[in-house]
Amino acid sequence: MKALHRLWWLALCLPASVWAGTVQVTVLARDGQPLTDAVVTVEPSGPRAASPAPTPVTIRQEGLAFVPALTVVPAGSRVTFTNLDRFEHHVRGTTGNPLQGSERSEGFELRMGGRVEGQAPPAASVVVNEAGPVRLGCHLHGSMRGAIYVTDSPWVARTDAQGRITLENVPDGAATVRVWHPDQLIDTAARQITVVSVTPVQFDTPIQPRRRR
Ligand SMILES: [Cu+2]
């Protein structure tokens, strides 16, 4: 009976714990509409959290497009590209923001042969180690655009159709919130927040997403 009582007491104390909070972020586009597919990262100022474990992912080249167009992966993950089209593609991965002169060291070039009937689709892979966005393109088809967002934070999510994300179990206290979107022209300024039990944040950005084909 005593043990049961103790359990009950624990259950009462834990949910609204002072150790972790829920961060709810809403991201709006320049026109005030919800911005979908924005990558939101929360970085608590306290001791560095363990990075999420690398997870292998596959990005297809299909119908002259990268599918999915946006992939979020932990740093150190292996990203495999497969070409399902019958013609050749390239994969050009560029990091940093060339418009702001912040090219980073990591980048890659892959050459993908066209798929041959009855054979496995051509595949090639890279390991992405550096946190941040990698823009994907193809030298042969300028309309092919995609992105990989590499993260070393366990608190990362992409906005839904309402422009919202919810991250739970974020340590209480000071934290930095960053927003990145594949169609952004300049970096959105990071925000400093204080995480309490439920912390709503709204970003009004100058980003205007392109219409998807
Ligand atoms: Cu191509």
Which pTM value belongs to this model? 0.82
User: Who's near 58: CB < 8 A, 6+ residues apart?
Assistant: 79, 80, 81, 82
Q: Give residue 114 CA to ligand 1 midpoint distance, Å.
A: 10
Topology of domain 50-152, per CATH? Immunoglobulin-like (2.60.40)
Q: Quick check: do 21-49+153-213 and 50-152 share a fold?
A: yes
pLDDT in tens, the chain (213 residues): 444 444 444 444 444 444 789 999 999 999 999 999 999 999 999 888 888 999 999 999 999 999 999 999 999 999 999 999 999 999 999 986 555 555 555 589 999 999 999 999 999 999 999 999 999 999 999 999 999 999 999 999 999 999 999 999 999 999 999 999 999 988 899 999 998 888 888 999 999 998 876
Instruction: Kindly list the domain boundaries of the chain, sorted by start residue.
Output: 21-49+153-213, 50-152
Q: Give residue 189 CA to ligand 1 midpoint distance, Å.
A: 33
Yes or no: is domain 21-49+153-213 CATH 3.40.50.1000?
Answer: no
Q: What is the pLDDT of residues 80-121, one digit of tens each?
A: 999 999 999 999 999 865 555 555 555 899 999 999 999 999
User: Who's near 67: CB < 8 A, 6+ residues apart?
Assistant: 59, 60, 61
Q: Give residue 140 CA to ligand 1 midpoint distance, Å.
A: 5
The two beta strands, 191-195 and 173-180, are antiparallel
Q: Give residue 184 CA to ligand 1 midpoint distance, Å.
A: 22
Question: Alpha-carbon distance 77 to 140, whole Å?
Answer: 26
Q: Give residue 35 CA to ligand 1 midpoint distance, Å.
A: 27
Amino acid letter, 148: I
Evaluated on CA atoms 92, 184, 188, 38, the torsion sign reads negative
Q: Give residue 60 CA to ligand 1 midpoint distance, Å.
A: 11
